Each structure stands twice: as C-alpha cells, then as structure tokens.
Amino acid sequence: MKPVKKYKVARRLGAHVFEKTQTAKFADSLNRRSKKSTKRGKPLSGYAEQMYEKQRIRFSYGISEKQFSNYVKVSTNTKGAIPSLLLAAQLESRLDNIVYRLGFAPTRRMARQMTSHGHFCVNGTRTTVPSYSIKQGDVITVREGSKKSIMFADMIAKQKDNSIPPWLTLSIDTLTGNVKGKPGLVDSGFDFNRVIEFYSR
C-alpha cells in the first residue's frame, strides 16, 4: 500500500481514521474547518457517503483497494453469512490488527511492521504475514528472541489505556494473546453496511 498523508486524509474522512489523528487538537481543527465550510458545502449523495465510509475503513485498517475488495467478495459470496458482520470479522481477524488490539503496538501500521519483521508466532510458528487470518483458539506470542526488545518493555504501563476486545485475552507475564471467541461488529464508529451497499451497486 502506498504511503498515505494521514492528516490530509483525516481532514477529508474524519479524525478517527488513524490513531495519530485521534487527538483533541486535531478534532478542534476539523470542527473549525467544518464551521467555515458549512455555508458553501453541499450535502453528500448516498453514493458519496458509501464511498467515504469505504475509504474510512480501508485507510483505518491500512489495506489496499484490491485487498479490501477481496474481503468484500468473500463477505457477499459466503452463503448464510451476514455480509457486514463477516467483513468486520475478516478485518479484525488479521494478525496485524490483533497485534494492535492486544496492545503490542500503538498503531496498526506499527503492528504491520512488527509482524513483517517476524516478532510474533502463531501457535508456536513464526509468522511474517500481516494479513494472516487468525481463528478462534489460536495463540499469538511474542517470539522468544524478541521479548527483550525495547518494543515490549513496560507492557503493564502500555496496557493502561488499552481496551482489549472481549474475544481476546492477554497474559502480560508471558506476552501471550489468546483468541477465545469470534469478533463481531466492533465499536469503531464505522458503518460496514454502507460498504456492502457501495460494492453492490
């Protein structure tokens, strides 16, 4: 995926798209820009709203358009599944996202880099594919040779402001995460139904 100018994208799609733009200062700047443009701004069409929501989710999870459309195809072609729920579950089940959710990395981008560099094992096997799909019952551990790295120092302090989803558990002592359930629609402020509608046109 090409490098993204995060502040420029966040001004267009919303502050919550990236972790680094989720600050009070940036939110205030967006509010000021919004007030200035209220008079001349036009309401978005239904298509535009769906497209923007797709972009918000795609940029937030840090994946390419091709990857994202493939996830949507699986979601819409799986019999008996609710497409929006399955799409959210696929994105949440990525190894880089789970590394982020467990608090091993402060951002998904950092989680993707750490995964690519081989710092994590899945069920005892070193895994370097950020998009690797994690399943219920899988165990994610920090590779033994990486545990002394400064990246994993002070994990207790780093977990202070981290909210781990109920389908994941973390043992700080052993730097081990367990997938005890399946992810549903996360409380992210995203509307996955709009994305499905966008690709259904």
Taking the CA atoms of 127, 130, 133 and 139 in sequence, report the sign of the dihedral they define: positive
Closest CA to 96 of 86, 107, 106, 108: 108
Looking at 32-36, 108-112, 159-163, 176-180, which range is the least confident one?
32-36
**Could you report the per-residue pLDDT of 119-173, keeping only the tens digit for each?**
999 999 999 999 999 999 999 999 999 999 999 998 888 888 888 999 999 999 9
Residue 11 has pLDDT above 70, yes or no: no
Higher pLDDT, 36 or 108: 108
Task: Give the three-class secondary structure for 158.
Answer: helix
Q: Are 134 and 96 spatial neighbours (Cβ–Cβ below 8 Å)?
A: no
Residue 9 has pLDDT above 60, yes or no: no
Output the six-digit token pair for 169. 């558990």
Most confident of 23-32, 38-47, 133-142: 133-142
Work out the average pLDDT over 96-116. 95
Q: Give, to the nearest 10 degrees, the angle between helix 46-61 and helix 6-13.
A: 150
Q: Are 97 and 63 spatial neighbours (Cβ–Cβ below 8 Å)?
A: no
Domains along the chain with CATH numbers: 6-36+44-90+190-200 (1.10.1050), 95-179 (3.10.290.10)
**pLDDT for 37:** 47
**Could you report the per-residue pLDDT of 44-93, keeping only the tens digit for each?**
688 889 999 999 999 999 999 999 999 999 999 999 999 999 999 999 99
Residue with tokens 């005892």: 124
Output the six-digit token pair for 18. 């990236």
Closest CA to 142 of 167, 117, 163, 109: 117
pTM: 0.79
**pLDDT for 20:** 55
Residue 111 has pLDDT above 90, yes or no: yes
The span from the CA of 96 to the CA of 82, in Å, is 24
The span from the CA of 32 to the CA of 30, in Å, is 5
**pLDDT for 30:** 46
